[in-house]
A and B are shown apart, each in its own frame.
Chain A
Amino acid sequence: MANVEFEVKNSQLKIYISGEIDHHSAFSIKDIIDAQILKVSPRTAVMNFEKVTFMDSSGIGLILARYRFCQNCGTSLYVQGLNSQTQKVLNLAGIKTIKEIIN
């Protein structure tokens, strides 16, 4: 089970994901996230993983597909709030184009 909440401030869309990200839950939140990006059309979008308790490679697919989606919308995508487990999975994908930002 994963949930997603949004916050918009100064043309920045914050995407707060919580719960466990797997193939099942990623499928249920991806369209909600894309719809929100289309609706807000922000300059930057930040996916926040602070409240994600588990993530497998479906999380990487979720990030990469959103990254491509954002590129088409002219939005820069950032990822933040990774813990040791989510970071370990992300490291395997060798993601370098998406920068992590720290508040």
Chain B
Amino acid sequence: MKSQNFIKLNFPSKSVNEGFARSAVAAFCAQLDPTVEQINDIKTAVSEAVTNCIVHGYRDTFGIIYITATITDNTVKIKIADKGVGIEDVNRAMQPLFTTDTAGERAGIGFAVMQSFMDSVKVKSALGKGTRVVMTKKIKPRDQNVITA
């Protein structure tokens, strides 16, 4: 039988919430007993996806960011969605170094970070309706060779 657990987070697209979002999802994933590196990977990927919602999805406005994290057995699935402007060409947006930022402060590798740090990343977007990113990561149980007294 599959064991399942989940959390849902809804919050306004204020950049101050980026830290809250990645910390909350990381704290939820702690029950899988991940390594520090795995937790950092999840935090970084969540941070990128939430930043995209704020910088792109709700570019000139504020809206709600919707996060659902589900744990099934040893895998965490994280959905991060906005109801913002949407992406015209998802494949182009996911190209490393592609950025719409003209100020030169954004590196354009947000999706590359997500793809590199998570096992799978799927992006669904519709113009005027919003964007949804679904990422998964399997946390393998660590060797149970620690002897407890």
A contact residues vs B (CB 8 Å cutoff) = 1, 20, 22-24, 26-27, 30, 54-58, 60-62, 64-65, 68, 84-85, 88-89, 92-93
Say yes or no for B16: interface residue by CB 8 A criterion. yes
What 0/1 readout, one digit per residue, does chain B (1-39) give for beta carbons within 8 Å of chain A? 000000000000001101100100000000000000100
CB of B104 within 8 A of CB of A58, answer no
CB of B44 within 8 A of CB of A89, answer yes
Say yes or no for B51: interface residue by CB 8 A criterion. yes
Secondary structure of the A side of the interface? helix
Chain B CB count within 10 A is highest, among A20, A24, A57, A68, for A57
Nearest-neighbor residue (CB-CB) of B41 within chain A: A88
CB of B107 within 8 A of CB of A22, answer no
CB of B19 within 8 A of CB of A30, answer no
Q: Give the contact-size bracket for chain B.
A: 20 to 34
A30 / chain B contacts, CB cutoff of 8 Å: 105
A88 / chain B contacts, CB cutoff of 8 Å: 40
Nearest CB on B from A83, distance (A): 10
Secondary structure of the B side of the interface? helix
Nearest-neighbor residue (CB-CB) of B111 within chain A: A57
Cα-based distance from A93 to B107 in the complex (angstroms): 8
Nearest CB on B from A103, distance (A): 25
B84 / chain A contacts, CB cutoff of 8 Å: none
Say yes or no for B134: interface residue by CB 8 A criterion. no
Cα-based distance from A62 to B105 in the complex (angstroms): 6
CB of B105 within 8 A of CB of A57, answer no
Cα-based distance from A84 to B22 in the complex (angstroms): 18
B51 / chain A contacts, CB cutoff of 8 Å: 22-23, 56, 58
Beyond the given pairs A55-B44, A92-B113, 18 more chain A to chain B contacts, judged by CB atoms under 8 angstroms and listed by A's residue number, are A22-B51, A24-B16, A24-B18, A27-B15, A27-B105, A54-B43, A56-B44, A56-B48, A57-B106, A57-B107, A61-B101, A61-B105, A64-B107, A84-B37, A85-B37, A85-B40, A85-B44, A89-B44
Residues facing A in B112-149 (CB within 8 A) are 112-113, 116
CB of B104 within 8 A of CB of A57, answer no
Residues facing A in B28-64 (CB within 8 A) are 37, 40, 43-44, 47-48, 51, 54-55
Chain A CB count within 10 A is highest, among B15, B22, B107, B112, for B107
Nearest-neighbor residue (CB-CB) of A69 within chain B: B104
